[in-house]
């Protein structure tokens, strides 16, 4: 529970060291557990969330050995010996920490086994809605229970003998879709998930890469995924860099005058490129050089940003980046509106309320309603960052809130020449950033030194 003081920074130059993608890391670990034999994964996220999934598959019988330490590339390389045939009942609860993705995906995985699994996490996880996975997994034939009538973790699951379902989740959620698909890989018949607003497709992409029997149909914004029972073959794969973390570097480089930063090999597949579209719409100077089918290198130069509207599919495609895009909006000229954003209230914290509080403390004119966040940017540094004060800010123990507020404080350096003393901010529970990006501040300091 450490507080961290963040002061104004300097222009950012050079290559940003971005961690491996968190969503992909969770899934590669799970697929390696399901595969009979040895799989190699390179560039895994070192965040606590992903480490919890690694520990969970070990508790279910997989072994994980380090391959090498590619410290420079910012990720772990591991050799995993998996095999669903050797899965064993976990002796202790699987503790998924702060990770909604970890808990919801593992719920789908353990629903395949006729042994008892108990899934727990931290205080935030125990507040987050679980009926969204309990309902479909129960319909598939698993027995699930939890607090508050089976709607909150801890979840207690005894699975096995599953049958495929045809299911349309009420809210757009890749975690729900993936949980059902992971269960469906061990269910009789066909499992179908219908999304009215398509979400990230990492689970589907893993199935496609590994040649598993999955079909996807896109119609407008909607997506239908069908899958049959299948065995997962072992694999060797690299994790691309995390667009949600790249967004912090991209926004910082856009709003800190005199910056020019390269971000290599970022995943920009369906459902994850929203932040880039929003920043380009705001007038950001970002050159995108395609690298692989779903990856690209970005070159970001500082630019004058203007307000925009983010809603519907674009909001879903930038769901995790709203806190840092809100900081971009605070530094932009004019109004930015995030609409259809109610799911942000069900993340690691109520992110609409957390952004409203944090940015207000910095002197930004910001308002939230049920599913809306409106920010009036003044085209420069927020007023309270120019007062030479120490501003206390709450992270709500949410990694993305702590990192977004840090970037807002760093960018106050734009007025270093005109203001005698700039403010610094003191963020509580700063260690929350370790859930997704241990070394976040160091990565920024390294860019300031170039
Ligand atoms: C994730 C899905 C998203 C996102 C989360 C990661 C995933 O949540 O917010 O950080 O890896 O499937 P939803 O389930 O709300 O789409």
Question: Is the C-beta atom of 205 inside 6 A of ligand 1?
Answer: no
H or E stretch covering 264: strand 260-267
Predicted confidence at residue 140, as pLDDT, reads: 98
Question: Is the C-beta atom of 199 inside 6 A of ligand 1?
Answer: yes
pLDDT band at 343 (very low <50, low <70, confident <90, very high): very high
Nearest atom, ligand 1, residue 178 CA: 12
Q: Report the nearest-CA residue for atom 16 of ligand 1.
A: 173
CA of 101 to the centre of ligand 1 (A): 6
pLDDT digits (tens, 9 = 90+) for 155-179: 999 999 999 999 999 999 999 999 9
Would you say 427 and 4 are in contact if contact means Cβ atoms under 8 Å apart? yes
Note the pTM of the prediction, 2 decimals.
Answer: 0.97
Nearest atom, ligand 1, residue 320 CA: 9
**pLDDT (average), residues 112-122:** 98
Predicted confidence at residue 351, as pLDDT, reads: 98
CA distance 444 to 62: 36
> Above 90 in pLDDT, residue 216?
yes
- The catalytic residue positions are 320
Which of 98, 173, 345 has most ligand 1 atoms within 8 Å of CB, for mutation? 173
Whether 22-228 and 4-19+241-449 are alike in CATH topology: the answer is yes
Question: Is the C-beta atom of 101 inside 6 A of ligand 1?
Answer: yes
Nearest atom, ligand 1, residue 346 CA: 15
Q: What is the DSSP letter of 290?
A: E
Distances (CA, A) of 283 to 255, 293, 304, 401: 11, 25, 7, 24
**pLDDT (average), residues 370-385:** 98
Nearest atom, ligand 1, residue 176 CA: 14
**pLDDT (average), residues 212-232:** 97
CA distance 175 to 53: 14
What are the structural domain ranges in the chain? 4-19+241-449, 22-228
For domain 4-19+241-449, the CATH superfamily is: Enolpyruvate transferase domain (3.65.10.10)
CA of 200 to the centre of ligand 1 (A): 8
pLDDT band at 206 (very low <50, low <70, confident <90, very high): very high
Question: Is the C-beta atom of 401 inside 6 A of ligand 1?
Answer: no
Q: State both tokens at 95.
A: 């503790």
Predicted confidence at residue 163, as pLDDT, reads: 98
**pLDDT (average), residues 373-384:** 98
Predicted confidence at residue 1, as pLDDT, reads: 74
CA distance 263 to 45: 16
Predicted confidence at residue 72, as pLDDT, reads: 45
Question: Is the C-beta atom of 173 inside 6 A of ligand 1?
Answer: yes
Would you say 164 and 189 are in contact if contact means Cβ atoms under 8 Å apart? yes
Rg (CA), the chain: 21
**Residue count (the chain):** 450
Nearest atom, ligand 1, residue 26 CA: 11
Predicted confidence at residue 74, as pLDDT, reads: 55
Q: State both tokens at 329.
A: 């909006």
Query: Coil, strand, or helix at residue 149?
Result: helix
Q: Report the nearest-CA residue for atom 11 of ligand 1.
A: 23
CA distance 238 to 149: 40
> Above 90 in pLDDT, residue 142?
yes
Question: Is the C-beta atom of 175 inside 6 A of ligand 1?
Answer: yes
- Count CA within 13 A, CB hemisphere, residue 203: 29
pLDDT digits (tens, 9 = 90+) for 283-297: 999 999 999 999 999
Predicted confidence at residue 69, as pLDDT, reads: 59
Question: Is the C-beta atom of 320 inside 6 A of ligand 1?
Answer: yes
Predicted confidence at residue 70, as pLDDT, reads: 53
CA quadruple 1, 29, 41, 286: dihedral positive or negative? negative
Backbone φ and ψ of 410, nearest 5°: -60, -40
Q: State both tokens at 180.
A: 């059902």
CATH of 22-228, one of 3.40.50.1220, 3.65.10.10, 3.40.50.1100, 2.60.120.200: 3.65.10.10
Question: Is the C-beta atom of 319 inside 6 A of ligand 1?
Answer: yes
Q: What is the DSSP letter of 160?
A: -
CA distance 146 to 123: 15
pLDDT digits (tens, 9 = 90+) for 30-46: 999 999 999 999 999 99
In the chain, % of residues over pLDDT 70: 98
Would you say 46 and 77 are in contact if contact means Cβ atoms under 8 Å apart? no
């Amino acid at each position: 529970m450490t507080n961290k003081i963040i002061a104004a920074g300097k222009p950012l130059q050079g290559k940003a060291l971005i961690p491996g993608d968190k969503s992909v890391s969770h899934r590669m670990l799970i697929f390696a557990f399901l595969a009979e034999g040895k799989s190699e994964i390179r560039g895994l996220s070192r965040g606590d969330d992903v480490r919890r999934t690694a520990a969970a598959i070990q508790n279910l019988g997989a072994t994980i050995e380090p391959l090498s330490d590619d410290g420079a590339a910012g990720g772990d390389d591991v050799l995993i010996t998996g095999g669903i045939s050797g899965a064993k009942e976990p002796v202790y609860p699987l503790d998924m920490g702060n990770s909604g993705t970890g808990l919801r995906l593992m719920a789908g995985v353990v629903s395949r086994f006729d042994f008892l699994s108990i899934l727990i996490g931290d205080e935030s996880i125990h507040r987050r809605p679980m009926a969204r996975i309990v309902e479909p997994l129960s319909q598939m034939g698993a027995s699930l229970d939890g607090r508050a009538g089976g709607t909150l973790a801890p979840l207690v699951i005894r699975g096995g003998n599953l049958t495929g379902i045809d299911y349309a989740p009420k809210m757009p959620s890749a975690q729900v879709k993936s949980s059902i698909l992971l269960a469906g890989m061990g269910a009789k018949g066909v499992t179908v998930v219908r999304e009215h607003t398509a979400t990230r497709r990492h689970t589907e992409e893993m199935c496609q890469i590994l040649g598993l029997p999955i079909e996807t149909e896109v119609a407008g914004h909607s997506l239908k995924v069908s899958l049959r029972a299948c065995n997962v073959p072992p694999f060797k794969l690299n994790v691309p860099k995390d667009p949600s973390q790249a967004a912090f570097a991209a926004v910082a480089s856009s709003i800190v005058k005199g910056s020019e930063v390269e971000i290599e090999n970022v995943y920009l597949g369906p459902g994850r490129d929203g932040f880039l579209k929003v920043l380009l719409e705001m007038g950001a100077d970002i050159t995108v050089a395609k690298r692989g089918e779903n990856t690209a290198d970005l070159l970001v130069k500082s630019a004058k940003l203007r307000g925009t509207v983010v809603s519907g599919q674009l909001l879903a495609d930038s769901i995790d980046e709203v806190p840092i895009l809100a900081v971009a909006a605070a530094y932009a000229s004019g109004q930015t509106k995030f609409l259809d954003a109610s799911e942000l209230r069900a993340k690691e914290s109520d992110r609409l309320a957390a952004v409203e509080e944090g940015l207000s403390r910095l002197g930004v004119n910001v308002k939230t309603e049920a599913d809306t966040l409106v920010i009036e940017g003044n085209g420069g540094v927020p007023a309270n960052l120019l007062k030479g004060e120490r501003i206390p800010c709450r992270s709500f123990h949410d990694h993305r809130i702590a990192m977004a507020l840090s970037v807002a404080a760093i960018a106050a350096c734009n007025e270093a020449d005109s203001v005698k003393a700039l403010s610094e901010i003191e963020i509580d529970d700063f260690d929350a950033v370790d859930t997704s990006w241990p070394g976040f501040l160091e990565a920024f300091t390294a860019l300031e030194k170039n």
